[in-house]
Structure 1
Amino acid sequence: MTEQSRTNNPTPTARRTVLAVSAAALAGGALTACGGGDEKEPKQESGNAATPQTSGPAASESAPGTAAKALLKSSEVPVGGGTILKDEKLVVTQPTAGSFRCFTAVCTHQGCLVNKVEAGTIDCPCHGSKFQVADGAVAHGPATRPLAEKKITVAPDGAISLA
């Protein structure tokens, strides 16, 4: 076999490798398209990235010298309810007087944004999921996972910011 014919005719091993990689990529795409669950993972937002808090108090006093951008004032969050910050995709709640919590406003069922806070729940308009204002837990399905919590701070002047 001449040098030119070898470069124009790939070896059977190279052909098999290309075919195997292509088949794997197609199979992976098909499995992704036919994915299992109804629920979607909350989308990660860029910009104001915050780590979900898994334990401990949700709100604390700001440390001196920190300069976080205030989301809103504590006076804007009704006791027993909450305020939705549509642009930030967040909801800040005040389950009891002086206790503030913050959750993603992205429903864990299908990724819709919640649209109201009333009667102690954070409500999604798409399929009727409801979440508790106190801890983001599912109060009514179809969602099965709670809203992701975001750590916040409350400054002495009442400014609430992401921690």
Structure 2
Amino acid sequence: MERRSVLLCGLVAALSACGEPAPRKTGGVGTARVGDRVTPAASVPVGSGVLVDMPGNAQLLVVQPRSGEFRAFNPSCPHVGSLVNPPAGGVITCPLHGSTFDPSSGAVRKGPATSGLTEVAITLSGDDLVLA
């Protein structure tokens, strides 16, 4: 293949991959309501957690700090709103400015955030975690 053809194919591929950027996910329950399924309990590892997509382009952080204990938090960091990462090494971390939070309570451990993550009520219903 000629160099010009290779460059042209690369340009066409790059342009066809472009378009409207995906909307940025926000923290919270979105359009979900009490009783709506959040995630199977089995999908949340003990000592860690998962970011769960919710209706309305939102996400929740669901954690299992101890076996059988489930908590959910709005993953928007109270500092500037960046979405935090699931717990690793016993701490939830905001990748933007390094704030850290307790995975059992959502309480701030280290700033610049000055308040903790907002808890969202969930309960176990059968094998699923649902909004309470």
TM-score by length of 1: 0.57
Which residue number in structure 2 is paired with residue 99 of structure 1? 69
- Partner letter of residue 162 of structure 1? L
Structure having the larger proportion of residues in strand: 2
Verify the 8 A CA contact 1:127 1:142 in the aligned structure 2: yes
- 1:69: how far off? 2.4
The separation in 2 between residues aligned to 1:80 and 1:46, in whole angstroms, is: 26
Change (3 A) 1:78 1:123: same
Q: Does 1:154 align with 2:121?
A: no
CA contact (8 A) 1:89 1:106 kept: no
DSSP 3-state at the match of 2:109: strand
Q: Aligned residue for 1:144?
A: 114
Q: C-alpha displacement at 1:88, in angstroms?
A: 3.0
CA deviations over 1:64-115 (Å, ceiling 9, x no partner):
xxxx221111111111111112543210111110010111010001011113
For structure 2, the 5+ residue unaligned runs are 1-25
| Matching of residue 76 in structure 1 with residue 43 in structure 2 | yes
Whole-angstrom distance in 2 between the partners of 1:148 and 1:83: 16
Q: Kindly, what percent of the aligned residue pairs are identical?
A: 38
Change over 3 Å in CA distance of 1:96–1:103 after alignment to 2: same
Structure 1 unaligned spans of 5+: 1-41, 51-67
Q: Which of the pair has more CA radius of gyration?
A: 1
| Structure 1 residue ranges (4+ consecutive) displaced by more than 3 angstroms after TM superposition | 42-46
Q: Number of residue pairs matched?
A: 104
1:8-49 Cα distance to aligned partner (Å, 9 max, x none) = xxxxxxxxxxxxxxxxxxxxxxxxxxxxxxxxxx98765236
Contact 1:153 1:161 survives alignment (8 Å): yes
Q: Distance in 2 between the 1:160 and 1:92 partners?
A: 9
